[in-house]
Structures are given as C-alpha cells and as structure tokens.
C-alpha cells in the first residue's frame, strides 16, 4: 500500500514539472499584438451616405494636395478603402484618367451599390468596386500605386491584418495614406500614434506625417510605404 502511494506521488510530481516546463516554453503574445487585437474601434457607418457630400469638404481636406502627395496621377492604380459614398473614388478616377483604375472598397453592400450607380451616372468607366472584408480589402495582386483610407481606419475591426493583407496589392513604391482624427477608437477617431504602431507591426514604414487636412488640427494625414 505504501509503495503504491509513493509511486502515485512521484507520478504527480512528474506531471506538475512537465506542465510547468511546457508553459514556460510557450511564447507569450507580444504587447503590440495584444494591444492591436484588444483596442476599441468604432462601429462602421451604415447611415445616409449623403453626409459625405457636404459642401466645402474638398477644400477643407485639401484633397488635391493629398492626391499630389500620394502620387496619384494619370494612368495610376488607386484604392479607396472605406469608399462610402464614393466621394474620394470619383475624384481619384478623374485624376487617373481613362488609362488609370480606381478600386472602391467597402464592407457595406449598400455603399458598393451606391458607388456603382454613381460611377455609371458620372460616366466613370475606370471605377471598379470590391466588397471587402474587415481583415482584407481583396484587392488584386500588384494592382495599386496609391491607397487612401479616408476617415475609415478607426472603424477597421482588424487593422493590422487588413494592412498586412494589403501589402500584396501594392506595386513597387506604392504609398498608403491614412486620414483620420485623434480619438480613443470608439469615438470615431484613433490616435495617430496607435495607427503608426499598428502600421509598423504590419510591415510599413512611416514616410511622412501632416496636419493640414483640417484647420482645427484634430485630423492627421499619415503616409506609409511597405518595408521590403
């Protein structure tokens, strides 16, 4: 009886030591990865798309200067991620011309329908819509020279995954622009430092940082390139 008791104790000790050893060898998630997955985001907008067409928005955001800095010119491939009403899509489409192409990406089917109708109405044959996912824009490989997320990033549920999956769609030298406002993630804004950290985690390098896109200095414009 005593012998069986001793054997049971030895087996129990062996099991405990084995479990502790495996736990010690298991890699802990990095702080950056944990923060990226846990941070708060805003609910994607599904309301009236006409709110994006406010008079004077073009001047307030200095969108032509934004396109200049992203290298959006005739013949280029451009992606508008979080296209909404297509406000930026149609402006980029006119800029790239008939030999260029603009991808309007959104996770809202109603936005996709709206952009398709708008492009047809405005006779823009160089617009292609994509119903994307929260972690993947589903853009074709090596299809774009410039990307803009205009007041969209704070709504992206899986931002690091989205940016990682975007890399395959970028042509050499492509620029990725993010315009947003400072906030806590769930108030339709997200801190620029958070965006920079997540972009770096996804394999991007911060190229430029601007604050001219709104007079109140609450908005920022970040430009990234993919690291080799």
Question: What's the CATH number where 46 sits?
Answer: 3.40.50.150
Query: Is 18 part of any domain?
Result: no
pLDDT band at 47 (very low <50, low <70, confident <90, very high): low
Query: Is 4 part of any domain?
Result: no
Q: Domains in the chain: how many in total?
A: 1
% the chain with pLDDT above 90: 67
Query: Is 20 part of any domain?
Result: no
Q: Give me the residue label for tokens 């989205």.
A: 162
Query: Is 22 part of any domain?
Result: no
pLDDT reported for residue 28: 41
**What mean pLDDT, rounded, does the chain reach?**
84
Query: Is 14 part of any domain?
Result: no
Query: Is 186 part of any domain?
Result: yes
Query: Is 41 part of any domain?
Result: yes
The residue range of the domain holding 168 is 32-226
DSSP structure class, residue 97: -
- How is residue 87 written in tokens? 């406000």
**What are the angstrom distances between the C-alpha of 78 and each of 156, 167, 204?**
19, 14, 18
């Amino acid at each position: 009886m005593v012998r069986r008791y001793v054997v049971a104790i030895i087996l129990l000790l062996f099991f405990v030591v084995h479990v502790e050893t495996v736990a010690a060898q298991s890699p802990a998630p990095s702080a950056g990865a944990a923060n990226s997955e846990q941070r708060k985001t805003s609910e994607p907008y599904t309301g009236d798309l006409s709110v994006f067409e406010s008079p004077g928005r073009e001047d307030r955001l200095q969108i032509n200067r934004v396109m200049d800095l992203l290298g959006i010119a005739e013949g280029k491939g451009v992606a508008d991620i979080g296209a909404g009403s297509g406000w930026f899509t149609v402006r980029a489409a006119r800029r790239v011309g008939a030999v260029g192409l603009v991808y309007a990406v959104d996770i809202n089917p109603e936005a996709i329908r709206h952009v398709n109708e708008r492009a047809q109405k405005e006779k823009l044959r160089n617009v292609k819509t994509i119903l994307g996912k929260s972690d993947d824009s589903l853009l074709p490989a090596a299809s774009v020279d410039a990307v803009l997320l205009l007041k969209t990033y704070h709504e992206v549920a899986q931002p690091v995954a989205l940016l990682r999956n975007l890399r395959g769609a970028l042509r050499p030298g492509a620029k990725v622009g993010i315009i947003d406002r400072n906030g806590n993630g769930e108030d339709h804004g997200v801190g620029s430092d958070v965006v920079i950290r997540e972009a770096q985690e996804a394999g991007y390098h911060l190229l430029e940082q601007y604050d001219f896109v709104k007079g109140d200095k609450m908005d920022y414009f970040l430009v990234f390139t993919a690291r080799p």
